[in-house]
Amino acid sequence: MGLLGKLGLGGRRGVLRTADSGDEAYLRAWVAAHEGVEAFVEPRTTVTETTMLLVDKHGAWTRRRISGPAGARKLARSVKIPVYDVQLVGYPKRMRDHDARQRALREQERRRNLGR
């Protein structure tokens, strides 16, 4: 066992964690706390289960595992938000713009802290 495993920080190698009720509860709470939310379903990969990306009207976003594309559509319908397949439509520009603004703010803060 490696150091991270001994500390309880290492995950089980080769085993994908599946979505659980906590993931769905988090997504529901995030939708309730943000305006203009859209959902984007990301496909399963060799290292990650299917995920649901939520993006609000300002470009803020969050991502959690979901039980599959059908589960994502069901959740989106239940919270009354549009859902898209990210492989077909791509990621929204407002999300990329939000990330760029956040990077610029972090860089400004870093430079400010260097001057102290």
At 19 the pLDDT is: 73
At 10 the pLDDT is: 53
At 33 the pLDDT is: 98
Structure tokens at 71: 């589960």
Please determine, for residue 81, whether its predicted confidence score (pLDDT) is greater than 70: yes
Cα–Cα distances in angstroms (integers) from residue 29 to residues 12, 54, 61, in the given order: 28, 11, 13
DSSP codes of every residue in 98-111? HHHHHHHHHHHHHH
What does the pLDDT look like over 11-49, one tens digit per residue? 556 566 677 779 999 999 999 999 999 999 999 998 889
Element (H, E) at 113: helix 93-114
Mean pLDDT confidence for 55-79: 96
pTM of the full structure:
0.79
Q: Which residue has the higher pLDDT, 62 or 114?
A: 62
- Residue 17 half-sphere exposure toward CB, CA atoms < 13 A: 11
Please state, rounded to an integer, the average pLDDT across all residues of the chain. 88
